[in-house]
Amino acid sequence: MIPAILERYRGAIEGRLSRALDGDGPLRSILRYHVGLEDEDGTPTHVTGKLLRPSLVLFVAEQLGAGLDAALPSAVGLELIHGFSLIHDDIQDRDRTRRGRPAVWTIVGVEQAINAGDLMHALAIATALESSSAAAGRLVEATREMIEGQCRDLEFEHRGITADEYLSMIDRKTGGLLRCAFDLGGLAAGVNGRVRSSLTALGQAVGRAFQIQDDLLGIWGRDDVLGKATGSDIRRRKKTLPVVLLFERVGADDRAKLEEIYGARDGAEVAEESVAWVIGRMDELGVRGACEAMVQRYVDDATGRLRQIPFSDDARSQMEELIAFLARREK
């Protein structure tokens, strides 16, 4: 069951997204493909993504008394920033697949994919400016945080990291835009002070729960649901939370083997028997359970923060439904 919050605004978001990406030229067309408004051959289709961030902006704005029209451009600007970051991330990570379809750079090449991301970034700000200068400013701030998080994530490929460093990175890379979603909703409604900081803290908790669940799916996700193979984050040496925890928990011998697997710089994928070994060690050392417990902790934290926001009972239970969905999702 898709939560009501993710259903209610789809039409409005998709319509405004389509307007933002309208226009001639190969870059516009590849951007429409990227967000799912077009097939690879240009046939119109529907957005397949969850549209989580813009839906959050609109829900928070609406529940706190703002008009949807005022918040919609900033919501769509946020989704466009998210989309731009995915185009550039896929280049950086050499990910060939995005939401079960070929990644932009595999179609137009790395050079034009850099341009496509840059254009989407510019269109995002142009769109958000239609809400307000303050909304555009808040979005740019979140963009900066996200990029600095992505920078750290790439650095982490080359050294050992602690769980605290990992959380600090995802607070920027993932949390930056999720906090921004709640903030933009509050901004549209003109809330300040304590409510505003509760919204930010809620976004932070949701961001952590969301990202750690994502990390779980990158290792134990079912490939038929996710469109990528189980263990895929291990195969590509991504240092997500389960790997960080595994490094913390293994003994000296296993650590040497792990360092050999994660230290390889030949660009080749990790061999299948090593992938199986890593997953085996994780299972034996309770890594999966530890990650699941952390997801639950941040869900609880989010639920607590939610009580500090003047939502109606109905709105609060819709938000709880959404948080539970994000923490249990299978893709």
Shortest Å distance, C-beta 190 to a second copy: 18
Contacts of 308 (CB under 8 A, 6+ apart): 194, 195, 198
Binding piece for a second copy, criterion CB under 8 A, among 1-9, 143-151, 225-233, 284-292: 143-151
DSSP at 269? P
Binding piece for a second copy, criterion CB under 8 A, among 115-123, 224-232, 242-250, 303-311: 115-123
Residues 90-109: x where in contact with a second copy by CB under 8 A, - otherwise, as a string: -xx-----------------
Binding piece for a second copy, criterion CB under 8 A, among 135-143, 195-203, 224-232, 321-329: 135-143
Contacts of 151 (CB under 8 A, 6+ apart): none
Work out whether 267 is an interface residue with a second copy (CB under 8 A): no
Shortest Å distance, C-beta 194 to a second copy: 26
Provide the 3-class DSSP secondary structure of residue 47. Answer: coil
Provide the 3-class DSSP secondary structure of residue 101. Answer: strand
Residue 82 identity? H
Single residue of 123, 180, 184, 188 touching a second copy by CB under 8 A: 123
- Measured CA to CA, the distance from residue 142 to residue 302 in angstroms comes to 20
Work out whether 261 is an interface residue with a second copy (CB under 8 A): no
Work out whether 144 is an interface residue with a second copy (CB under 8 A): yes
Nearest to 100 by CA among 227, 229, 231, 232: 227
Cβ contact 179:207 at 8 Å: yes
Burial class (CB in 10 A: 0-12, 13-18, 19+), 219: buried
Single residue of 49, 68, 101, 148 touching a second copy by CB under 8 A: 148
Single residue of 18, 97, 106, 115 touching a second copy by CB under 8 A: 115
Q: Which is nearer to a second copy, 117 or 218 (CB)?
A: 117
Single residue of 52, 136, 187, 246 touching a second copy by CB under 8 A: 136
Cβ contact 127:180 at 8 Å: no
Work out whether 155 is an interface residue with a second copy (CB under 8 A): yes
Work out whether 22 is an interface residue with a second copy (CB under 8 A): no
Q: How many residues bind a second copy (CB under 8 A)?
A: 33
Q: Which is nearer to a second copy, 112 or 308 (CB)?
A: 112
To which H or E segment does residue 97 belong?
A: strand 97-98
- Measured CA to CA, the distance from residue 283 to residue 245 in angstroms comes to 12
Cβ contact 2:321 at 8 Å: no
Provide the 3-class DSSP secondary structure of residue 98. Answer: strand
Shortest Å distance, C-beta 238 to a second copy: 14
- Measured CA to CA, the distance from residue 116 to residue 198 in angstroms comes to 35
Cβ contact 80:3 at 8 Å: no
Shortest Å distance, C-beta 168 to a second copy: 12
Shortest Å distance, C-beta 20 to a second copy: 11
Shortest Å distance, C-beta 146 to a second copy: 9
Residues in contact with a second copy by CB under 8 A are 25-27, 88, 91-92, 111-112, 114-115, 117-119, 121-123, 125-126, 129, 132-133, 136-137, 140-141, 143-144, 147-148, 150-151, 154-155
